[in-house]
Amino acid sequence: MSRVAEMSWIAFEKQTQQTDLVLLPLGAVEVYGPHLPMGTDGFVAMALATRVAERIPALVAPLIPVGYSRSLQDFPGTLNVSPEALKAYVQGICESFLLWGCRRFLFLNGHLGNVAPIAQLCEELRRVHGATCAQVDIWRFIQPLTRDLMESDTLPFGHASEAGTSVMLYLHPELVDLPAATRTPPPPDPFPDILQTGSYREKSGTGVLGDATRGTAEKGEAIISRSVDRLVAFVESEAFR
């Protein structure tokens, strides 16, 4: 057992004598197309954390379920916390682990909006506490590992698209309404090299960017398997000592 919330304090103390590594899954509750649950990012982050901890000694922190999703709030059900609140909350969790001798933190982050505040926190934990920290931006992390699996002609790693749908079909098929999956290509952008702010709903009326109809459980299994192998290799390497 590696999930801290499911441990007794006796089991927790014993585990901290064997490892100083904490895996922290972060997600979001936001629009994820008409076919996927709004908590998809968190489901995937927790699945990766749990599977990594089955391979190597580690503590799995409770899922941080809601992130910074302001740009998606035009869709019903999307929840949001500010970057400042997210950073402060996660910092408190990490400082709790530091009290018990944990010194390595790997953030498994399923949501792009969380990346900046977690990157800032990693730097502070390193500078103030001497901790070793790294962050995995999951949906970007999987791309070079699994590009050969993708079949769609538009944004296979887009929001709620082929990759995300595949992973959820593998992890939680009971939560996927596959007949509702849709293909929503991105609107034309004459300046893709320039970052602009705006409502996500202006880009997609469905919450999908890409072709969700191409998702399969077989692709999802391969995505998870390759990702876990890569994460274990990183944690066991000298780069994360």
Q: Which tens digit of pLDDT belongs to each residue from 143-184?
A: 999 999 999 999 999 999 999 999 999 999 999 999 999 999
CB of 181 closer than 8 Å to CB of 213? yes
Confidence class for position 106, pLDDT limits 50, 70, 90? very high
CB of 183 closer than 8 Å to CB of 153? no
Q: How large is the average pLDDT for residues 219-236? A: 98
Count of positions (residues) in the chain? 241
Range in 65-69, 194-198, 209-213, 232-236 the model is least confident about: 194-198
Confidence class for position 203, pLDDT limits 50, 70, 90? confident
Q: How large is the average pLDDT for residues 50-54? A: 98
Buried (b) or exposed (e) across 52-91, using 16+ Cβ within 10 A? bbeeeebbbbebbbbbbbbbbbebeebebbebeebbeebb
Query: Strand 210-211 to strand 183-184: parallel, antiparallel, or no bridges (unpaired)?
Result: antiparallel
Judged by DSSP in three states, 76 sits in coil
Task: Decide if pLDDT at 141 tops 90.
Answer: yes
Element (H, E) at 13: helix 9-16
Task: Decide if pLDDT at 1 tops 90.
Answer: no
Range in 123-132, 148-157, 188-197, 204-213 the model is least confident about: 188-197
Write down all domains in the chain, each with its CATH number in brackets. 4-186+196-240 (3.40.50.10310)
Q: How far is CA 55 from CA 59, 73, 226, in A?
A: 12, 38, 13
CB of 169 closer than 8 Å to CB of 181? no
The 10s digit of each residue's pLDDT in 66-95 is 999 999 999 999 999 999 999 999 999 999
| pLDDT of amino acid 20 | 97
CB of 102 closer than 8 Å to CB of 24? no
Q: How far apart are CA 26 and CA 20, in angstroms?
A: 19
| pLDDT of amino acid 196 | 84
Average model confidence (pLDDT) across the chain: 96
CB of 171 closer than 8 Å to CB of 228? no
Confidence class for position 202, pLDDT limits 50, 70, 90? confident
Residues with Cβ within 8 Å of 109's Cβ and at least 6 positions away in sequence, in order, are: 26, 45, 115, 118, 135, 136, 137, 138
- Amino acid identity of residue 42, one-letter, is G
